[in-house]
Structure 1
Amino acid sequence: MSMILFACVVRVRDGLPLSASTDFHLDQDFLECRKRLKALSSVLTRYPERGTAKERDLSIHFHSCGEVACMGICASRFPAVMAFCFLEELQWEFATAYDTTSVGLASRPYAFLEFDNVIQKVKSRFNYTSCAPTKLNFDKIQEELRLRPPMQVKLEEAELANGMMNGHAELPLESASTYRMEPVSPVGILSLVLNIMCGALNLIRGVHLAEYSFQEDRKGMGNVIAFLVPFVACFLLCYLYLFYSSARRVKVFVLFVAVCACNFYLHGLRNVWQILFHVGVASLSAHQILTRQVREKQPDCGV
């Protein structure tokens, strides 16, 4: 079984991925560890040149040098000295192939995608050759780790720091624009249809009442507003169901309360069954929004 599962090279100042190994592990722990590594890569400037973070049966190791850091996910039983020997060799190979100017000018993720071949070769050698590092290099790294042990990083703190740097903590790994909702369900489609119907009914009644109020009774403007507010709320509920939005719970609660308050205000213009229908549709829609999960988009980077 492979001891080194994943490796990448990132730019230290902003965590921009420059190259990464192509791995197809579908294990949930590994996928979660990849997300944690990504969060950590964005805050490497907060840490010394070597560090280790534990994630269940996996470990994340990183080694920074100048503008570039090499990071890897290894099995926890893989010796730390071997992991840092691997990262140092990657560091040397990358420094040989690319200068600091090209690293600094990189503007898109995985700008040095071709270095993936080097990562794969070095990774395979360390995974399947017991004497991958030279004796001299092994002793050197071992002595350095003894004198200056790698910092033990808490991944929760790294994720929090990453979220604070991005200006939000709700989705610490990415901006909200890189997330999408899970596929709509049949009940969700029903809630959309009913919401559109309720919104249309509110708009028609509100417009008719507004025409009468402007001509005959200006005191009825409160009722007009009570029809138009639920009209807006219905379509906002549809939007919240279809697209991701931050603070969904608060927005759904405000819209649901607005629909209920306006319908109770309209008691007299609507009978009890009509009011219950509108409130019931709002309840169904709110439930569908809050139970529809967010899923992360897969990065379209070819790795």
Structure 2
Amino acid sequence: MVRLTLIARTRDGLPLAEGLDADKEHEMYSYKSQAKGILKKMAASSSRPPERMSIESGPFTFHYLIDSDVVYLTLAEKAYPKKLAFQYLEELQSEFSRLYGGQIEAVTRPYAFIKFDTFIQKTKKLYLDTRTQRNIAKLNADIAEVHSIMTRNIQDVLGQGERLDRMTEMSNALSQDAKQFAVKAKDLYHQALFRKYLPLIILVAVALFVLIMKLAF
């Protein structure tokens, strides 16, 4: 069963449209974050990402295809047939390109084509039951292309970026701690200096006071 669908521009990860059941959004929050992480990695990559890939994440699998600088990504149960997942994405790609193909480059705001959710929901219903005659026919079609699609794990795809993020956070924290330590060390130095010369300051002050009193009388 298809649980989440996201369409975005590949070069910068700008989300263009999304299909997600509102009543299940809280359940899919972490997977939606992972989906955005996948898009972010694509946009940041210096090399061209594979045009099709499946990425396993716990009990689910992300499937995506890229066409004309647009990535069509969906999340389905791991047991859901890969063939149907990519057939679903191909239908979205065909209709989205027909409707908005000439507008994608000029878009600057996120979810500019959010109305496409209507087509996403309608198409998703056709792929809910893998046992329908329609879907069985698709499964019986040539699957050689599907077997050639690379499958990776979500940790392999996002792990390096997450480690870099953690290292950056640790570096920033250490830098902040070092600054705080420097300030405290400076304060302690001034306090130690004051305590060291306090008796001398008192002695000089008393001597000056006595001298002034003698001169006054």
Give TM class, smaller chain.
0.7 to 0.9
Residue 165 of structure 2 aligns to which amino acid in structure 1?
A: E
1:150 paired to 2:149: yes
Q: 1:124 to 1:260 in 2, by over 3 A?
A: same
Counterpart for residue 260 of structure 1: 184
Q: Is the 8 A contact 2:84 2:135 kept in 1?
A: no
Residue 11 of structure 1 aligns to which amino acid in structure 2?
A: R
CA distance in 2, matches of 1:255, 1:123: 54
Q: Deviations over 1:137-164 (max 9, x none)?
A: 5444623214xx211234334336768x
Candidates 66, 69, 74, aligned match of 2:68: 66
CA distance in 1, matches of 2:125, 2:149: 24
Q: 1:129 to 1:140 in 2, by over 3 A?
A: closer
Counterpart for residue 95 of structure 2: 93
Classify the secondary structure of the residue corresponding to 1:127: coil
Q: Which has the higher contact order (CA 8 A, sep 6+)?
A: 2
Q: 1:251 to 1:109 in 2, by over 3 A?
A: same
Residue 91 of structure 1 aligns to which amino acid in structure 2?
A: Q
Counterpart for residue 39 of structure 2: 41
Which segment is superposed worse, 67-76 or 129-138? 129-138
Residue 151 of structure 2 aligns to which amino acid in structure 1?
A: Q
Classify the secondary structure of the residue corresponding to 1:73: strand
Counterpart for residue 123 of structure 2: 122
**More strand per residue:** 2
Counterpart for residue 250 of structure 1: 174
Classify the secondary structure of the residue corresponding to 1:260: helix
Counterpart for residue 79 of structure 1: 81
Q: Is the 8 A contact 2:10 2:69 kept in 1?
A: yes
The percentage of aligned residue pairs carrying the same residue is 24
Q: 1:259 to 1:141 in 2, by over 3 A?
A: farther
Aligned-pair CA distance for 1:7:
0.5
Q: Aligned-pair RMSD on alpha carbons?
A: 3.1
Counterpart for residue 4 of structure 2: 6
Q: Is the 8 A contact 2:17 2:115 kept in 1?
A: yes
Q: Is the 8 A contact 2:57 2:153 kept in 1?
A: no
Q: How many residues align?
A: 189
Q: Is the 8 A contact 1:85 1:133 kept in 2?
A: no
TM-score under structure 2 normalisation?
0.73
Counterpart for residue 223 of structure 1: none
Classify the secondary structure of the residue corresponding to 2:5: strand
Classify the secondary structure of the residue corresponding to 2:17: strand
List runs of 5+ in structure 1 lacking aligned partners.
177-244, 272-303
Counterpart for residue 169 of structure 1: 164
Classify the secondary structure of the residue corresponding to 1:261: helix
Q: 1:248 to 1:259 in 2, by over 3 A?
A: same
